Amino acid sequence: MLKTSILAALLAAAPLAVLAQDKGADTVVATVNGTPITLGEMIVMKQAAAQDPQMAEMGDGALYEIMLDQLIQQTAVADAGQENAGVRAQLEIQRRNTLAAAAITEVTKNQPTDEEIQAAYDNLFAAEEPATEYSAAHILVDTEEKAREIKAQLDGGADFGTLAEQSSTGPSGPNKGDLGWFSADQMVKPFADAVSAMEKGQISDPVQTEFGWHVIKLNDTRLREAPALDEVRDQISQMVLRDKVQAEIERLTSEATVEKVEGIDPALMNKTELLEAQ
């Protein structure tokens, strides 16, 4: 008797299981004025809802009802909308954007291999020579005369940081003129040339740049080594992925048959009234 009961229960449940498996993205979950709302639309909407922390915490039952109500409202309101050239143009752009995004998603499904990451790393850093970085401070003023007066005070033993706080017009003034660590290519050329020629602890003669007149103190130098692969693996991986996406975009575009229509006046883009045409 027990075995018979179990068998009967399994047979009774079987049609429900088959029914659940038969549901597809095109399964209609509601209609509004004859317009179907599909399970696929619900799935896409749930994917978007996952970005909202509050929605993501809801159970499927509650979320299902909320999203279905939203889609019903959207569909009812959409029925009241009038289709015109502008609406058709927006729909077509959205359609192409969605298809393009789907194509790009296919490209990004396969994450970069270790070999690809290593090759990209080597291309970026393997041949790179260690770069010199400088730690310096400066006092920025608007005239050469003021710069020479400050240099004379420094030569006489005045404290660089104190003078920077008192006299520098640059944003680093309140910080005793400290510029932190930088490489030569991060500075304008006259400033970089001056720093590159200085010895540790040296204070420069006035240096003119587009920002004004500088008196520079070189605090220290160091060599910047290339980062270890593990330190930049994630960034390299993203770079490889971006390169793959860009390469695929360029491939598809180059292989496409493109025919530009000549003689279209660019000023026609300003005629927004054209979008109102039925």
- 153 contacts: CB under 8 Å, gap ≥ 6: 163
pTM more than 0.75: no
The pLDDT value recorded for residue 57 is 78
What is the C-alpha separation between 173 and 158, in angstroms, rounded? 16
Ordered per-residue pLDDT tens for the chain, 278 residues: 444 444 444 344 444 443 455 788 999 999 999 999 999 999 998 888 877 888 777 888 888 999 999 999 999 999 988 899 999 999 999 999 999 999 999 999 988 999 999 999 988 887 667 789 999 999 999 999 999 999 999 999 999 999 999 999 989 999 999 999 999 999 999 999 999 999 999 999 999 999 999 999 999 999 888 888 999 999 999 999 999 999 999 999 999 999 999 999 999 999 989 888 88
pLDDT at 18: 39
DSSP strand pairing (212-224 vs 178-183): unpaired
> Which residues are 134's β-sheet partners?
182, 221
Neighbours of 41 (CB within 10 A): 20
Q: Which residues contact 182 (CB under 8 A, 6 or more apart)?
A: 133, 134, 136
d(CA 166, CA 149) in angstroms, rounded, equals 13
pLDDT at residue 2, rounded to an integer: 42
Q: Which CATH architecture has domain 129-224?
A: Roll (3.10)
Task: Delimit the domains of the chain by residue range.
Answer: 2-81, 97-128+231-248, 129-224
Sort 168 into a burial class: Cβ within 10 Å, 0-12 / 13-18 / 19+.
buried
Residues paired with 37 in a beta bridge: 30
